[in-house]
Chains A and B, each alone.
Chain A
């Protein structure tokens, strides 16, 4: 048993990919790419007299996430003002949810080292993002309000996580679900998804919680895992040395692979929360909840389970195909188009993904259609083309967008299954190579492959390999 037990809670901030901001019609733009301060309205700048209006789409997205994370939905949603000063916060307060967040008491199952763990989710609430402050060398500070007011969802766990790997597995799963729901791109480097662990340790078996530190600005899942693991070790060393852990916010130094102190929190911040007087309570009706629930897509776990139980895929295949919603839906479409699930899975995983990697394309951008793949597999099953030709045809489909039938016809790739024609070819090869025939008949069985190769060569690879083998057996036996 380890000397210490780590207690970790995760706060995830996810921007919602709506067209407009949380409380104003100003557009949501890529805040890394866009020219600073071009996607702002008077409200985004906190100008006097401007008033917020709730973006219904953002609520819809938040509702989807809360439902997907198995939360209870609060029907009376109260927005609150979280008051604090920073120049990237245009109004001097952030409109957030405090006492009545949209979702509470949810959970998510994650698998770490083949073990399933249930992480409880304390709350999911809606709020708005801040602007971005950049400090320039000469002491000037620049501020960009493009991001200010972008709808933001905060997802907070109970302290149910116990290692960096668990933190990573949970965060990755949240990202996967957000992407499945179509509400967030999951791009951590652009900051649209931000993960902040609260970490404390305590002697194993103890019931008391230790002093916690918070890690911020972790821009990848690997950094989340490494940073959390480092922080657990660091706290253990502090306790072992008889010191106490300081409550603070820490950052991650990627070069030195360690955390460093950013800001010590001497006392709890007082945000002077009070109900947002500019927004009446938002009521989410039973009908709205039911409609949102009905519109939820099949989520990754359910999808993978269905692939194994109903379509007879291996656990590995199921997991790979359910990883991304677009991939799963591509597969589902192909199955609906009439292909054998197992064959489709193999062709996708072995061939299609290789081509996608080669061409660096996502599945929703490729020219190959699920119907096209099903047709290709049918051509193989019917014996029109053989497996190797089919791979070439798929590559051609990938680059040209043509149907397999078109490619096979245009290039004359249909395999020769005409028994008379193939028999003539086989006879010709055997007649031309009497000494090889003699060696084969003397017992050199491995030469059989050589004969097949010669027939294939003569037919430019189009011979039906099964038929060739059958004819070879017949004719060799007659010699």
Chain B
């Protein structure tokens, strides 16, 4: 391609989602043009990043054309014509959905997830399905049965996980926004590693219908954006009640975009002492403390708080999540859908088919099966449920005193591919700051708050009470505008 087109592509793909909204509204570009530009960029550089598992280029171009036609008819829906990426944990009608697993290779759902239907109705363009740790079990995408996604900031490092594909795609300007899923931190941790914004909404705020289940009481669809406003725009579209998900909350959806005022004067921000302890990287801690100072400068009131049951979050999570997973994953037997590995008889066939599960998935199925077994239930799963109640209570008590809790998103910045892949416990510790949000039915967001000395992004986590997404989005927005890291994010190595 010649220099002029290269420049044009650069310009278009460099836009944030909200900038693109304006450009489309002003007729400065078309959805077809930006979709083509995105697809060209994906073809050009995603071989190095491996963020997409499936590219739906034909579908995307058809959707872009339809979006342009809708716009010509006067439609001005916020996501109309905007190219987005969808994590491969989320079912897409007519498009292969693998959950990063060989056991779903070639599975084409005959239905859309609720969130995908919402995106389609809004006229968004779906570029493809992004890589994930198998069944979202992991923090690096190294557990994907297909590829390991690379961090756009340093290709020798992981993008985080499990929604690493979506995070890397957004960070590398290969999508204007993306959907992920967050069961223990799978949106916020990769957002932090990739220097973008990632929101984990309150359980029940977004429908789980059509989202491949990992741990049913913890799973929630979240959104990625290069900016808080971008992340919010996608969230605004997918939030809401779904009668097909009995755990979906039937409460009105606020205007989140209108909540982004940048004014956080008087906001009570809690800093939990249990989150600044041994094991946290010094540069991460410094960046987060600096960010807290910035919040104070903006008029927030900083309060030291305590979440005394924090240390139990990790063991509780690793009992509850695998227990639910052991049941949720029992359906993958090759009988009704997905690949089937033929054996000598029915039972042998099922056994051979299930050998398609990867090692981490098998490990968690076994952990979970054990935790639910007769004689162990009370000691493990039963006790975990009780401890979960205590953790929830910690948060409820704290939200009497503060509006937002601020913590690092992760203890470290992105680690090297292979660095801890063989050490499941080290990998589990990646989620230590994020998983309390899932256990407590709070909501959380990760927003960039600087870089370490190696130039790797650091994430700031803001946690809100149940259904207080508007509060944390606005706090993140206020910080983002004041700290102005967004400019730095655009200067990417790719």
Contact residues of A with B, CB < 8 Å?
A: 42, 45-54, 81, 83, 85, 87, 90-93, 139, 141, 143, 145, 268, 270, 272-274, 277-280
Question: Using Cβ atoms and an 8 Å threshold, which residues of chain B touch A87?
Answer: 333, 335, 346, 350
Task: Assess A51 versus B217: contact at CB under 8 Å? Given A93-B330, A272-B373.
Answer: no
Tell whether, in the assembled complex, residue B216 and residue A83 are in contact, meaning their CB atoms are under 8 Å apart.
no
Task: Assess A90 versus B336: contact at CB under 8 Å? Given A53-B244, A268-B374.
Answer: yes
Which of B204-212, B233-241, B254-262 interfaces with chain A? B204-212
Taken residue by residue from 97 to 113, chain B's Cβ proximity to chain A (1 for < 8 Å, 0 otherwise) reads as 10100001001011101
Question: Using Cβ atoms and an 8 Å threshold, which residues of chain A touch B246?
Answer: 51-54, 278-280
Chain B nearest CB from A57 CB (Å) reads 16
Question: In chain B, what residue has the closest Cβ to A279?
Answer: B246
Of the A-B pairs whose beta carbons lie under 8 Å apart in the complex, a sample of 20, sorted by A's number, is A46-B331, A47-B111, A47-B331, A47-B337, A49-B113, A49-B209, A49-B211, A49-B213, A51-B208, A51-B209, A85-B333, A90-B331, A143-B335, A272-B327, A272-B373, A274-B377, A277-B216, A277-B247, A278-B216, A279-B246
With the chains together, A141 CA to B99 CA distance in Å?
Answer: 28
Tell whether, in the assembled complex, residue B111 and residue A42 are in contact, meaning their CB atoms are under 8 Å apart.
yes
Chain B nearest CB from A459 CB (Å) reads 74
With the chains together, A432 CA to B244 CA distance in Å?
Answer: 90
Task: Assess A274 versus B323: contact at CB under 8 Å? Given A48-B97, A49-B91.
Answer: yes
Tell whether, in the assembled complex, residue B217 and residue A277 are in contact, meaning their CB atoms are under 8 Å apart.
yes
Chain B nearest CB from A144 CB (Å) reads 12
With the chains together, A45 CA to B333 CA distance in Å?
Answer: 12
Taken residue by residue from 313 to 342, chain B's Cβ proximity to chain A (1 for < 8 Å, 0 otherwise) reads as 000000000011011011101011100000
Question: Using Cβ atoms and an 8 Å threshold, which residues of chain A touch B299?
Answer: none
Chain A nearest CB from B381 CB (Å) reads 6
Question: Using Cβ atoms and an 8 Å threshold, which residues of chain A touch B104?
Answer: 48
B245 contacts chain A at the CB level, 8 A cutoff: yes
Task: Assess A278 versus B331: contact at CB under 8 Å? Given A42-B111, A49-B213.
Answer: no
Question: Using Cβ atoms and an 8 Å threshold, which residues of chain B touch A81?
Answer: 327
Taken residue by residue from 336 to 360, chain B's Cβ proximity to chain A (1 for < 8 Å, 0 otherwise) reads as 1100000001100010000000000
B149 contacts chain A at the CB level, 8 A cutoff: no
Please pick, from A47, A92, A274, A280, the residue contacting B333 in the complex, using a CB distance under 8 A.
Answer: A92
Contact residues of B with A, CB < 8 Å?
A: 90-91, 97, 99, 104, 107, 109-111, 113, 208-213, 215-217, 243-247, 323-324, 326-327, 329-331, 333, 335-337, 345-346, 350, 369, 372-374, 377, 381
Please pick, from A48, A51, A92, the residue contacting B99 in the complex, using a CB distance under 8 A.
Answer: A48
Please pick, from B109, B217, B333, B350, the residue contacting A48 in the complex, using a CB distance under 8 A.
Answer: B109
Chain A nearest CB from B378 CB (Å) reads 12
Question: Using Cβ atoms and an 8 Å threshold, which residues of chain A touch B377?
Answer: 272, 274
Chain A nearest CB from B3 CB (Å) reads 45
Question: Using Cβ atoms and an 8 Å threshold, which residues of chain B touch A278?
Answer: 216, 245-247
Known: A46-B331, A274-B372, A279-B247. 16 other contacts (CB 8 A): A47-B109, A47-B111, A47-B331, A48-B99, A48-B104, A49-B210, A51-B209, A51-B244, A54-B246, A83-B326, A87-B346, A91-B330, A139-B345, A270-B373, A273-B372, A274-B377
Chain B nearest CB from A143 CB (Å) reads 7
Question: Using Cβ atoms and an 8 Å threshold, which residues of chain B touch A90?
Answer: 331, 336
Chain B nearest CB from A133 CB (Å) reads 9
Tell whether, in the assembled complex, residue B212 and residue A49 are in contact, meaning their CB atoms are under 8 Å apart.
yes
With the chains together, A277 CA to B323 CA distance in Å?
Answer: 11
Question: In chain A, what residue has the closest Cβ to B111?
Answer: A42
With the chains together, A53 CA to B212 CA distance in Å?
Answer: 17
With the chains together, A53 CA to B215 CA distance in Å?
Answer: 18
- Could you tell me the dominant secondary structure of chain A's interface residues? loop
Chain A nearest CB from B183 CB (Å) reads 12
List of 10 A-B pairs having minimum Cβ-Cβ separation, nearest first: A92-B330, A277-B216, A272-B372, A49-B210, A46-B331, A48-B212, A277-B217, A270-B374, A45-B336, A49-B91
Question: Using Cβ atoms and an 8 Å threshold, which residues of chain A touch B91?
Answer: 48-49
Task: Assess A46 versus B336: contact at CB under 8 Å? Given A91-B330, A274-B381, A277-B217.
Answer: yes
Question: Using Cβ atoms and an 8 Å threshold, which residues of chain B touch A85?
Answer: 330, 333, 350
With the chains together, A45 CA to B374 CA distance in Å?
Answer: 28
Chain B nearest CB from A5 CB (Å) reads 31
Residue of A46, A51, A52, A268 ringed by the most chain B CB atoms within 10 A: A51
Chain B nearest CB from A198 CB (Å) reads 20
Question: In chain A, what residue has the closest Cβ to B368?
Answer: A272
Chain A nearest CB from B321 CB (Å) reads 11
Question: In chain A, what residue has the closest Cβ to B344?
Answer: A139
With the chains together, A93 CA to B91 CA distance in Å?
Answer: 22
With the chains together, A352 CA to B208 CA distance in Å?
Answer: 58
Question: Using Cβ atoms and an 8 Å threshold, which residues of chain B touch A270?
Answer: 373-374
Question: Using Cβ atoms and an 8 Å threshold, which residues of chain B touch A53?
Answer: 243-244, 246
Chain A nearest CB from B242 CB (Å) reads 9
Question: Using Cβ atoms and an 8 Å threshold, which residues of chain B touch A277?
Answer: 215-217, 247, 324
Question: Using Cβ atoms and an 8 Å threshold, which residues of chain A touch B111?
Answer: 42, 47, 49-50
Task: Assess A272 versus B337: contact at CB under 8 Å? Given A52-B246, A277-B217.
Answer: no
With the chains together, A9 CA to B110 CA distance in Å?
Answer: 45
With the chains together, A83 CA to B371 CA distance in Å?
Answer: 13
Tell whether, in the assembled complex, residue A83 and residue B330 are in contact, meaning their CB atoms are under 8 Å apart.
yes
Please pick, from B217, B346, B369, the residue contacting A272 in the complex, using a CB distance under 8 A.
Answer: B369
Tell whether, in the assembled complex, residue B336 and residue A49 are in contact, meaning their CB atoms are under 8 Å apart.
no
Question: In chain B, what residue has the closest Cβ to A82?
Answer: B327
Residue of B99, B336, B373 ringed by the most chain A CB atoms within 10 A: B336
With the chains together, A468 CA to B374 CA distance in Å?
Answer: 87
Question: In chain A, what residue has the closest Cβ to B336?
Answer: A45
Question: In chain B, what residue has the closest Cβ to A135?
Answer: B346
Please pick, from B327, B333, B350, B374, the residue contacting A93 in the complex, using a CB distance under 8 A.
Answer: B327
Chain A nearest CB from B425 CB (Å) reads 25
Chain A nearest CB from B111 CB (Å) reads 6
With the chains together, A81 CA to B325 CA distance in Å?
Answer: 12
With the chains together, A85 CA to B246 CA distance in Å?
Answer: 25
Residue of B215, B243, B244, B331 ringed by the most chain A CB atoms within 10 A: B331
With the chains together, A81 CA to B213 CA distance in Å?
Answer: 15
With the chains together, A40 CA to B215 CA distance in Å?
Answer: 25
Question: Using Cβ atoms and an 8 Å threshold, which residues of chain A touch B329?
Answer: 92
Tell whether, in the assembled complex, residue B372 and residue A47 are in contact, meaning their CB atoms are under 8 Å apart.
no
With the chains together, A48 CA to B333 CA distance in Å?
Answer: 12
Chain B nearest CB from A267 CB (Å) reads 10
Task: Assess A47 versus B336: contact at CB under 8 Å? Given A87-B350, A93-B330.
Answer: yes
Task: Assess A280 versus B247: contact at CB under 8 Å? Given A47-B337, A91-B331, A92-B333.
Answer: yes
Chain B nearest CB from A358 CB (Å) reads 49
With the chains together, A50 CA to B91 CA distance in Å?
Answer: 10
Question: In chain B, what residue has the closest Cβ to A268?
Answer: B374
Tell whether, in the assembled complex, residue A48 and residue B213 are in contact, meaning their CB atoms are under 8 Å apart.
yes
With the chains together, A277 CA to B110 CA distance in Å?
Answer: 24
Tell whether, in the assembled complex, residue B109 and residue A83 are in contact, meaning their CB atoms are under 8 Å apart.
no
